[in-house]
Amino acid sequence: MQKFLLGVNYWPAKKGMFWWKDFDKEEVKRDFERISSAGLEIVRLFLLWEDFQPSANKINQQAIANLIEVFTIARECGLKILLTLFVGHMSGANWAPDWLAGRNIYQDEEILTASCCLAETIAGSVKEEKALFGYDLANEIDNFVRPASRQQARKWLRFIVSKIKAVDNIHPITLGLHLKNIEEDRGFWPEDLAEFCDFLSMHSYSIYAKWADNPLDGKIAGFTNRLIARMSGAKVMHTEFGLSTTTGSSREASNYFDTSLRGLYESGALGAMLWCYSDYDPTIFNQPPFDKAIHERSFGLFQADGKPKPYKDIIKGYRNLRVKQIPAVKEIDNPVYYKKPLEQLKEEYRKFTLQS
């Protein structure tokens, strides 16, 4: 039976989204050792598009070399890496080189050629790395550019997955869905992702779910994970969930994490990845996205000074578990669901809470 994986999303406390521009392998080593000591096994990394492909026909080779250093550090720390490739949106802000501005990444031929180049270069560079777990195509890509239709999203998925598989047909590929994808039709349907991806991913935060019982509703993670499985007939890994500690007390936060992890395990999730590694250092509060998104400053498993938050110990209770075997059966008709998605979502959550 497959192990229930525990992991975390990674940005350094003192550099945030600017760490590839100011890379420090000793900083990464300290952070990864801390992650490993917390009992976590997998780290989700993000390749900001502007850092790895500054122009359509240029790949930043120094950034690639730094990425290989990170893989070496991960291997030495006993960690696996889930590598997120196309990152134009992150933490409420859009990050993209000028050459991408205002263009349709799903059908612009120059963009598709450039995307293919980046995907093939990255896959070719890391496919032999022992620390590689798999590829996440993008981070909430419809928040960056929304596809014009479901058909356009499907075509892009097929294209990008085929290019990666041509280089590396060993490691699995996924794409993360988020709450907006089940609250409205944004082109990316779970059943379509199941057709092209090896497993599905989900991001959920009770503080963003207006239909949740409250901002500290720990049932949201398990519910959304199970919903995506029922909409796709595929296995799902929860690659983002978490809580800003500006919301509620330490005790309430601990209850939220315990309930969320328990719900994810019971839902049959392949694993659970916390958002995120660390609170951010006050020295970067004047940088985007933290200058405007105040709550983004304090989602960490660790404080900015490296001290663990009280709920770190909760993780230990979910180590060395095996994935709960729940049959991956498609039970929800996507075309019917997306006629009135928010209404359908609320009804599914009502039924879920009655059964819980």
Structure confidence by residue, pLDDT tens digits, 39-67: 999 999 999 999 999 999 999 999 999 99
Does the global pTM surpass 0.85? yes
State what percent of residues in the chain have pLDDT above 90.
85
Q: What distance in Å separates the CA atoms of residue 51 and residue 42, rounded to the nearest whole number? A: 23
The answer to whether residues 182 and 210 touch, using CB atoms and an 8 Å cutoff, is no
* Domain count within the chain: 1
Q: How confident is the model at residue 277 (pLDDT cuts 50, 70, 90)?
A: very high
* pLDDT at residue 178 in the model: 97
User: What are the pLDDT digits (tens) for 226-239?
Assistant: 999 999 999 999 99
Structure tokens at 161: 């997955």
The answer to whether residues 246 and 298 touch, using CB atoms and an 8 Å cutoff, is yes
**187 dihedral zone (left: phi>0; alpha: psi -120 to 50; beta):** left
* Containing structural domain, residue 303: 5-355
The answer to whether residues 323 and 4 touch, using CB atoms and an 8 Å cutoff, is yes
Q: How confident is the model at residue 247 (pLDDT cuts 50, 70, 90)?
A: low
Q: How confident is the model at residue 248 (pLDDT cuts 50, 70, 90)?
A: low
Number of other residues whose CB lies within 10 A of the CB of residue 327? 7
Residue-wise over 238-266: b if at least 16 C-beta within 10 A, else e?
bbbbbbbbebbeeebbbbbbbbbbbbbbe
Averaged over 15-44, what is the pLDDT?
A: 96
User: What are the pLDDT digits (tens) for 99-128?
Assistant: 998 899 999 999 999 999 999 999 999 999
* pLDDT at residue 353 in the model: 94
* pLDDT at residue 92 in the model: 76
Averaged over 89-96, what is the pLDDT?
A: 82
Structure tokens at 235: 């296995």
Q: How confident is the model at residue 306 (pLDDT cuts 50, 70, 90)?
A: very high
Q: Report the SS3 class of residue 328.
A: coil
Q: Concatenated DSSP letters for 88-146? A: SEETTEE---GGGTT--TTT-HHHHHHHHHHHHHHHHHHTT-TTEEEEEEESSHHHHS-
Whole-number average pLDDT of the chain? 94
CATH number of the domain where residue 319 is located: 3.20.20.80
* pLDDT at residue 170 in the model: 98
Q: How confident is the model at residue 312 (pLDDT cuts 50, 70, 90)?
A: confident
